[in-house]
Amino acid sequence: MAAQYVLGYDIGGTKLGVGISTVDGKLIGTERIPNKDTRPEDVLPEMIAVTDRLLAAAGLTRQDIDCFGISAPFPADPVNGIMTAPTNNPKWRNVPILDFLREQLGMDGCFENDANCGALAEGFFGAGRGCRDFLYLTMSTGIGAGVITNGRLVRGRSLCGGEVGHMVLVNNGRQCACGQRGCYEAYCGGRAAALALQELLKDNPDHPIVQIAGGRIEDIDMVAIEKAVRMEEPMAMAVWDDMARKNAQAFGILINTLSPEKLILGTFAWAIGDLYLDPIKKYLPEYTWPQMLEACEIVPSELRREISAYAGVAAALNFRQERI
Ligand SMILES: [Zn+2]
């Protein structure tokens, strides 16, 4: 009988998740390994030990596993499955994790960008179930996306496709961490939005937004901006409105290009709710054609903070499907 289970690995900046799922998508075991400031030579062997422990606890052996999936942060080398320089864990440089797991586990697997894995997870387990055309946007510190068209993940020639956070929305605009100027993420990513407001207020330590953030300019973050908007602080409201327009502009490009059935939105959409989504929806008709907009539902992630628990196994399930 063919192997009826898959393994998933989710490599986060503070935790590394290991999970086992049935091939029809039921999670049967998960464990998390602390991964803050770790060295790969310590963590890689532990991944194998945890895998064997989870298998034993479920009464399984490696022979029961069809394949594995790795959900990894970019930048990375997706062609060779190498973590090149993850920004949240500087000790993990040039780690050939795909080959390591292939050799150690004696089975095949895949290496995917974590935003792609988010889309696959929503597709198998969340708001994208039954949809053949949808996008998942991460929308938290940064902005990433996974694009599914006609039921398949879009990776493109470089395997790096789907980097919608780095579509340039403003010519010669704000410097982005990626090196370009004017990227979508430089305006609507949580970190960039907070830094821009900190810069604006650097000579104004008594401004109400600084007080809302607890008194220190460097503590202004999306939570403080949201609070200030709820208190109808004028500068925060102007920043919020500009973010909504930039989000609408980006969504408009994606909707007119791909005509998805759903845009599934990560953190900000479910953590902030209508205050975040309503102004975007108000501006969207200025940036899309009505027939494409009418065909597209804009919804928050269903998996929310649980999405990482499903990311690796979703990559494995997709790998299995693409192979069949
Ligand atoms: Zn960029």
Whether residue 239 sits in one domain with residue 105: no
Name the nearest CA neighbour of 144 among 190, 100, 208, 104.
Answer: 190
- 14 pLDDT band, cuts 50/70/90, is confident
**Stated length of the chain:** 324
- What does the DSSP assignment read for 95-118? B-HHHHHHHHHTS-EEEEEHHHHH
Whether residue 258 sits in one domain with residue 137: yes
What's the CA-to-centroid distance between 174 and ligand 1, angstroms? Answer: 9
Q: How many Å is the maximal CA-CA distance in the chain?
A: 69
Whether residue 271 sits in one domain with residue 155: yes
Q: CA-to-CA distance for 51 and 18, rounded, in angstroms?
A: 7
Whether residue 234 sits in one domain with residue 106: no
Name the nearest CA neighbour of 125 among 324, 246, 306.
Answer: 306
pLDDT, one tens digit per residue, over 262-278 is 999 999 999 999 999 99
CATH code, domain with 108: 3.30.420.40
Which domain range does residue 30 map to?
5-124+306-323
pLDDT, one tens digit per residue, over 97-112 is 999 999 999 999 999 9
Number of folded domains in the chain?
2
- 323 pLDDT band, cuts 50/70/90, is confident
What's the CA-to-centroid distance between 177 and ligand 1, angstroms? Answer: 6
What's the CA-to-centroid distance between 307 and ligand 1, angstroms? Answer: 24
Structure confidence at residue 324 (pLDDT): 74
What's the CA-to-centroid distance between 107 and ligand 1, angstroms? Answer: 36
What's the CA-to-centroid distance between 143 and ligand 1, angstroms? Answer: 9
What's the CA-to-centroid distance between 60 and ligand 1, angstroms? Answer: 44
What's the CA-to-centroid distance between 261 and ligand 1, angstroms? Answer: 26
Q: CA-to-CA distance for 202 and 217, rounded, in angstroms?
A: 7
Whether residue 310 sits in one domain with residue 169: no
Separation of CA 273 from chain center? 18
Structure confidence at residue 130 (pLDDT): 96
pLDDT, one tens digit per residue, over 34-66 is 988 889 999 999 999 999 999 999 999 999 999
Structure confidence at residue 88 (pLDDT): 72
- Strands (E) in the chain, as ranges, are 5-11, 15-22, 27-34, 65-72, 109-113, 134-137, 145-149, 152-153, 262-265, 297-300
pLDDT, one tens digit per residue, over 160-193 is 999 999 999 999 999 999 999 999 999 999 999 9
Global pTM?
A: 0.94
Whether residue 140 sits in one domain with residue 23: no
What's the CA-to-centroid distance between 171 and ligand 1, angstroms? Answer: 12
Name the nearest CA neighbour of 308 among 245, 273, 266.
Answer: 266
What's the CA-to-centroid distance between 142 and ligand 1, angstroms? Answer: 10
**Residue type at position 164:** V
Whether residue 235 sits in one domain with residue 267: yes
What's the CA-to-centroid distance between 308 and ligand 1, angstroms? Answer: 23
Q: CA-to-CA distance for 140 and 223, rounded, in angstroms?
A: 11
Whether residue 248 sits in one domain with residue 207: yes
Packing angle, helices 222-230 and 274-283, rounded to 10 = 80
What's the CA-to-centroid distance between 181 and ligand 1, angstroms? Answer: 7
Q: CA-to-CA distance for 33 and 105, rounded, in angstroms?
A: 18
Q: Taking a C-beta distance cutoff of 8 angstroms, is the pair 263, 255 a contact?
A: yes
Q: CA-to-CA distance for 86 and 75, rounded, in angstroms?
A: 6
Whether residue 174 sits in one domain with residue 36: no
Whether residue 113 sits in one domain with residue 154: no
What's the CA-to-centroid distance between 140 and ligand 1, angstroms? Answer: 15
What's the CA-to-centroid distance between 238 and ligand 1, angstroms? Answer: 23
Whether residue 187 sits in one domain with residue 105: no
Whether residue 270 sits in one domain with residue 158: yes
